[in-house]
Amino acid sequence: MQTASVRRRRRGFLAAIALGAFGCVPMQQPATDVPRGTAWMDATATLDPATTPVYEGDAPMTFAFLKDMRRGDALTLSSYAMGAHSGTHIDAPMHFVPGGASIDKVPLDPLIGPARVIDIADGVQAIDAAELERHRWRGTPRVLFRTRSSLRRWMSSSTFHRDFAFVSADAAQLLADAGVVLVGIDYISAEQFGAPVPRAHQILLGKGIPIVEGLLLEQVPAGEYDLIVLPIKVAGHEGAPARAVVRRRAP
């Protein structure tokens, strides 16, 4: 039996043949026109031992091909091993909160929705409450910081830098108290390097606010976006690499 849609497709096909006979088949148009500036952009650092920074003391990245068609094998088969906090990744509450949710139990809603990218000047290392209040950050549920790490392209270099910009405890408290549901930053930690107590993590994760670290924001200007950032689903672990994409929102 022929359905209406099959009949429609067939009529379209015949119309294309007819046009083709005149040598003027139009170029195939995409189903929906995506206006400039509203396409999805990748905000994920590529996992690559050559370009991915590894936090001092964290597990090394090991990428290997067990079989490789380029070397004459019948198939290509590889493995990769890395720390749970490699590249663009999400910290689950379990990372610093006793009894906190593991990455597979983090709710989806904070990970998908409107977000604001905020520019932090190159000279600023501590994003504290005073720095935060210099910016228009209220009124968005998700705050992503674009810092010196983006300006210096540190998420694209395997060299680990200690002097990355971080979220101070008082800023974390402001964000948490304001009802922000997700905080993101553009280097592999949101905490000051060597901080004796991970207060920013404790405050945010203590409120169940996932932290996205290692975002690639080099090509993502400050502004309003839709964000989708989804970690791989690993049972009972405290973090996982994620794919993050953003799309400009109408102002």
C-beta closer to Zn ion: residue 84 or 248 = 84
C-beta closer to Zn ion: residue 182 or 248 = 182
- Segment interacting with Zn ion (CB under 5 A) among 67-75, 85-93, 156-164, 223-231: 85-93
Alpha carbons 159 and 149: distance in angstroms, whole number: 12
Q: Which of residues 186-225 bind Zn ion (CB under 5 A)?
A: 213
Shortest spacing between CB 95 and Zn ion, in angstroms: 6
Q: Please state, as a whole number, how many other Cβ atoms lie within 10 Å of the Cβ of residue 215.
A: 30
* Residue 246: φ, ψ to 5°: -135, 155
The footprint of Zn ion on this chain (CB under 5 A) covers a number of residues equal to 4
Using CB under 5 A as the binding rule, whether residue 131 contacts Zn ion is answered as: no
Using CB under 5 A as the binding rule, whether residue 238 contacts Zn ion is answered as: no
Alpha carbons 75 and 71: distance in angstroms, whole number: 10
Q: Answer whether 52's CB lies under 8 Å from 63's CB.
A: no
Please identify which residue in the block is written with the tokens 């906190």.
100
C-beta closer to Zn ion: residue 238 or 248 = 238
Q: Please state, as a whole number, how many other Cβ atoms lie within 10 Å of the Cβ of residue 22.
A: 7
Shortest spacing between CB 205 and Zn ion, in angstroms: 10
3-state secondary structure (DSSP) of residue 145: strand
Q: Residues 17-56: x/- map of binding to Zn ion (CB under 5 A)? A: ----------------------------------------
Using CB under 5 A as the binding rule, whether residue 85 contacts Zn ion is answered as: yes
Shortest spacing between CB 208 and Zn ion, in angstroms: 16
Shortest spacing between CB 238 and Zn ion, in angstroms: 8
Handedness of CA 27, 30, 36, 39 (dihedral sign): negative
- Segment interacting with Zn ion (CB under 5 A) among 49-57, 88-96, 128-136, 167-175: 88-96
- Segment interacting with Zn ion (CB under 5 A) among 63-71, 84-92, 175-183, 230-238: 84-92
Specify burial of residue 201 (Cβ count, 10 A radius: 0-12, 13-18, 19+).
buried
Our answer to whether residue 89 is catalytic in this structure is: no
Give the residue from 112, 86, 98, 95 showing the smallest Cα distance to 181: 112
**Beta-carbon-side half-sphere exposure of residue 198 (alpha carbons within 13 Å):** 15
Catalytic member of 95, 161, 201, 237: 95
- Segment interacting with Zn ion (CB under 5 A) among 21-29, 59-67, 90-98, 169-177: 90-98
Alpha carbons 62 and 154: distance in angstroms, whole number: 20
Kindly list the catalytic residues.
Answer: 95
Name the residues that contact Zn ion, by CB under 5 A.
Answer: 85, 91, 213, 239
